[in-house]
Amino acid sequence: MKKIFVALLVVSLMASVSFAATAKSAIKGGGMRIGVGVDTGMAGMRFSSDSFSGLVGLNFSNTSSGGQSQTTLGFGGKLTFNITGGEVPTHIGAGLTYTSFPAGNQTGTTFSISGIYGAETTISHDFVAGFDIYPLTFASTSVAGQSETTIQLLTGTVYGIYYF
């Protein structure tokens, strides 16, 4: 129940019109932009400037079947630095994610850290689309006291962000 409350609190804060208006007026003067979108399977809030960008996101799902309820909750973030400018600027950086998921009668967790290389472009004045390639991802998964470590090569994602 606590997880559901925290997830709803974060989502309502992100969607709050008053927060968006305050953030826009406070940040825009400093050369920062703030927006919302979907990135790496998470709904998130993004901030960016000419030299860097960051994202903080949350994913949540709750499924019920036969009287059983299973909840998955994850959060993460990434920070990237622009290495080129122009119409399609490229960036490098790192990302972190943490996910708690049901595994039978147990709860499992996964923590991962990834290197990032990507590019994005402005589709319209306030909408940005891009992609990220994760050349190397290190992930650790734990279920019922058992741990597994994996290394993934060359995975990726696409994303879209709408700026206020």
Given CA atoms 97, 102, 104, 107 in this order, what sign does their dihedral have? positive
* Domains, the chain, with CATH or none: 2-163 (2.40.160)
Residues 6+ apart with CB under 8 A from 97: 40, 42, 74, 75, 76, 110, 111, 112, 114
What average pLDDT does range 134-145 have in this prediction?
Answer: 93
pLDDT digits (tens, 9 = 90+) for 147-163: 999 999 999 999 999 99
Does the pTM of the predicted model rise above 0.85? no
